[in-house]
Structure 1
Amino acid sequence: MIEVIVVGAGPVGLSAALALRARGLPVVLLEADREDRERPGSRALFVHRESLRLLDAMSPGLAAEITAYGRTWHTRRTLYRGREVYARTFPPPSGLPPFTSLRQLDTERFLRAACARAGVEFVWDAPVSDVRTSASGVSLTGADGREWEARYVVAADGARSAVRGALGIPMEGVRGEGFHVVVDVADVPGAELPLERVFHYEHPGVGGRSVMRVPFTGGFQVDLQCRDDDPEEAYGTEDAVRGWLPAVVGDGYADRILWVSTYRFLRKVAASFTDPHGRVLLAGEAAHLFPPFGARGMNSGIADADRAARAVADGTPRAVTAFADARRAAGLHNSEAAGIALDHLRPRRRAVRLRQRAAAALAPVLPSCGSWLEHAPYGPRGGAPAAAGGKY
């Protein structure tokens, strides 16, 4: 019987495997895709300081590798209908930065290398089709008939988790209205845009739709907030993006598009983060789905992975129950915080729009109004339940 199986080789599954190896446990990692799979797009961009600390504890030096490659900006700007309402440049930190920004495929590359150094055994092209648990362990069946037995399983196999589905654990929550368009754009060599994060409320160049620009290593991401009645083909195809992108970032980038995707906001949390026998522990998007603003998804998933490894290493039912309760409480907190951010980003009430308009008008004389416009789209900071053990 295998000691621990991790299902899913995304950033959360890789983090879980690394955390288990750091505690001396043998780990087999099953991934449904082939080893040479391609992972298009930036996906999760931010690795926050708290996540960097967790990763460095799993593999000393890993945080330095990731931050040396990633980009950290110190200037944040917010505009409202073409007028700047907030701008601040922060001094570089003396230790770990508050975050670093890089494409998820690059984060996974660093994590895979760390897992290989740590002795994680990878099994590729191994989709799971059935899961059975008992008081003594877990039986997994692959789509090709292969079977694995383990004392514990950490399920980090994403939003459509086969493990969660086989266990019959439902996701609870809501699906938001409207959609966003996410575009990855490569830098123009020698003419890179300023290293800053820009959020623009009701950008006049895109018909009053809000837009954000975020740098990452090698380029930047643009996130366009569409209206509920916008047709996706008018804004979310590569041809459509070529039409509106110059109004947001200037000329010269229409032929630098790397990836275009659309997404709708989901705020969902698993009804339970473990099975009735306490042998399967859910982590990352297998356990919760959040809108991307505030970067709660992957960072919360890394915290899940660390706590799951801690519970498995303890090896007691009480530790698994404590993991499941604490991380579900953290998931519900993050879901609520994301909901507050959504109420600001996609206001349904006229009073919210009027407040935003008033804050923009007062920002030149009341800096606190500009600060509110800057921070509100990302939801409240802190406030996570103490049992969660961290920010996420």
Structure 2
Amino acid sequence: MNPVVVVGAGPVGLSAALGLRARGLPVVLLEADPEGRERPGSRALFVHRETLALLDGMQPGLAAEITSYGRTWQTKRTLYRGREVYSRTFPPPSGPPPFTSLRQVDTERFLRAACERAGVEFVWDARVRGVRTTETGTFLTCADGREWSCEYAVAADGARSAVRRGLGIPMEGERGEGFHVVVDIADLPGAELPSERIFHYGHPGVGGRSVMRVPFTGGFQIDLQCRDDDTQEDFGTREAVGRWLPAVVGDGYADRLLWVSTYRFLRMVAASFTDSHRRVLLVGEAAHLFPPFGARGMNSGIADAAAAAEAIGAGTAEAVAAFAEVRRAAGLFNSAAAGTALDHLRPRRRTVRLRQRAAAALAPVLPSCGSWLEHAPYGPRGGAPAVAGGRY
């Protein structure tokens, strides 16, 4: 039996390889970077319950490994210009947690170990440059001249996917204005911040920009929403973060930075999630790009991976076509939901800004107003296609 080739050893590619091995299929995973690569921080912190269930279906016990390391906080708070408008503390879960919070580098560590246990063959320093498909198979060419042939391939090679470009599949969507700064910060020894997620509209310490703080195992992440005319030099470098960070979390953290990055508001979905011969399946950021509001990025990518493994396991063009249709519908839903969240976070209409201000004023007497301010930044969840991954 020819192996299935997975391109890309990020969390989505690792999940695809694991899902294929769970179906007894041999897998070769090609990764452009060397084996000893150092991975940076990440925007993907949350692994949701639905995703944990998918991973546990690929390798029983994997969800428990991840959740025993990750962090599940019980308190959510929302503030508006320095004043609390929403707070809720949930009881500890009696069963599987609704999510676990850990850095993407740690999620990848668990997934890679699971793949090694499952017998996935890793090939490092294998940057794919070309791809060709026929009715009977797929042919991949690496930058160093190595070639791989297989019946099916899974493209999990990220936003600049060489496989997608090689197949001539365009991305469709839009690019928004402005950017966010994302910072991973290690805890101060003996002085951990409260284990709670905080969203702060118009934080007065950073000139009225909105800020989110999310804990993860060993530290926390800050997401700063910049304005259209802000520059990365003023907000997105390590030096710049060191200047504005104390106003958000207090002194002592400027030298605890683990990672600093920025992201822009891309909402793009591939025109097709497979090629004309139904031999290559696009998953994760090779197939869709949208802001990580509501933890949609990695979670939807792992749902793609699970569906791709199922389709390849079926071994028919019809199954691959069904995968492409269903997962593209999920991608379009998530893109639209992220757009709704973006309209709330960066309101262009004066009516939206007035509604936020009114909701903040009424929150002490109308809890539903505070609840709306709490949930709106993540976009709608209901109405997603009933597919692997549930909400994603």
Verify same fold: TM over 0.5. yes
In structure 1, the partner of 2:25 is 25
Listed one character per residue, the Cα deviations across residues 15-44 of structure 1 (whole Å, up to 9, x for unaligned) are 000000000100000000001111111331
* Residue type at the aligned position of 1:196: E
Task: Give 1:3 shift.
Answer: 2.8
2: CA distance, partners of 1:366 / 1:164: 49
User: What is residue 60 of structure 1 aligned with on the other side?
Assistant: 60
Aligned 1:1-392 pairs, distance under 5 A: 2-386=2-386, 390-392=390-392
Q: For the Cα contact (< 8 Å) 1:185–1:259, is it kept in 2?
A: yes
State whether residues 330 and 388 of structure 1, in contact with CA within 8 Å, keep that contact through their aligned partners in structure 2.
no
- Tell me which amino acid in the other structure corresponds to 1:122: F
* TM-score, length basis structure 2: 0.99
The whole-number CA distance in structure 2 between the counterparts of 1:350 and 1:79 is 20
Contact 1:19 1:58 in 2 (8 A): yes
Task: Provide the rounded CA distance (Å) in 2 between the counterparts of 1:78 and 1:370.
Answer: 8
Contact 1:42 1:102 in 2 (8 A): no
Contact in 2 for aligned 1:13/1:305 (Cα 8 Å)? yes
Paired residue secondary structure (2:65): helix
Structure 2 SS opposite 1:109? helix
User: For residues 193-216 of structure 1, what are the alpha-carbon distances to aligned partners after superposition, in whole Å with 9 as ceiling and x for unaligned?
Assistant: 000000000000000000000001
Structure 2, gaps ≥5 residues long: none
- Output the CA distance in 2 between the equivalents of 1:344 and 1:128: 39
2:298 counterpart SS class: helix
Which whole-Å CA distance do the structure 1 matches of 2:118 and 2:236 have between them? 41
* Separation of aligned partners in 2, 1:237 and 1:157: 27
Q: Deviations over 1:282-306 (max 9, x none)?
A: 0000000010111101000000000
How far off its partner does 1:367 sit? 0.2
3-state SS of the aligned residue for 2:351?
helix
Aligned partners of 2:383, 2:263: CA distance in 1, in Å? 27
**Distance between the aligned counterparts of 1:115 and 1:350, measured in 2?**
51
Q: Percent identity?
A: 82
| 5+ long unaligned stretches in structure 1 | none
Write the distance in 2 (CA, Å) between the matches of 1:305 and 1:225. 30
Deviation at 1:388, TM superposition (A): 5.9
Note the alpha carbon deviations across 1:312-362, whole angstroms, 9 max, x for none. 000011100100000000000000000000000000000000000000000
Give the drift of 1:2. 2.8
- Determine if contact 1:326/1:388 at 8 Å carries over to the other structure: no
**Alpha-carbon separation, structure 1, partners of 2:265 and 2:299:** 17
Q: How many Å separate the matches in 2 of 1:55 and 1:318?
A: 25
Amino acid corresponding to residue 297 of structure 1 in structure 2? G
In angstroms, what is the RMSD of aligned CA positions? 0.9
SS in 1 for 2:160: coil
How far did 1:166 drift? 0.5
Alignment length (residue pairs): 392
CA distance change for structure 1 residues 387 and 74 in 2, over 3 Å: closer, same or farther?
Answer: closer
Offset of residue 108 of structure 1: 0.4
Residue by residue over 1:211-237, the C-alpha shift from the partner in whole angstroms, topping out at 9 and shown as x without a partner, is: 000001111000110100112211111
2:115, 2:290 → 1: CA distance? Answer: 27
Are the counterparts in 1 of residues 51 and 389 from structure 2 also a CA contact under 8 Å? no
Which secondary structure does the structure 2 equivalent of 1:178 belong to? strand
**How far apart in 1 are the matches of 2:255 and 2:225?**
22
- Check the 8 A contact 2:200/2:211 in 1, yes or no: yes
CA distance in 2, matches of 1:260, 1:108: 19
User: Any idea what the Cα deviations from partners look like across 1:162-184, whole Å, max 9, x if unmatched?
Assistant: 10010010000001100111111
Query: 1:309 corresponds to which letter in structure 2?
Result: A
Query: Which 10-residue stretch deviates more, 78-87 or 35-44?
Result: 35-44
Q: TM-score, normalised by structure 1?
A: 0.99
Q: Given that residues 329 and 388 in structure 1 are in contact (C-alpha distance below 8 angstroms), is that contact kept between their aligned partners in structure 2?
A: no
State the 1:387 CA deviation.
Answer: 5.1
How far residue 382 of structure 1 moved from its aligned partner, in angstroms, is 2.3
The code of the aligned residue for 2:271 comes to: A
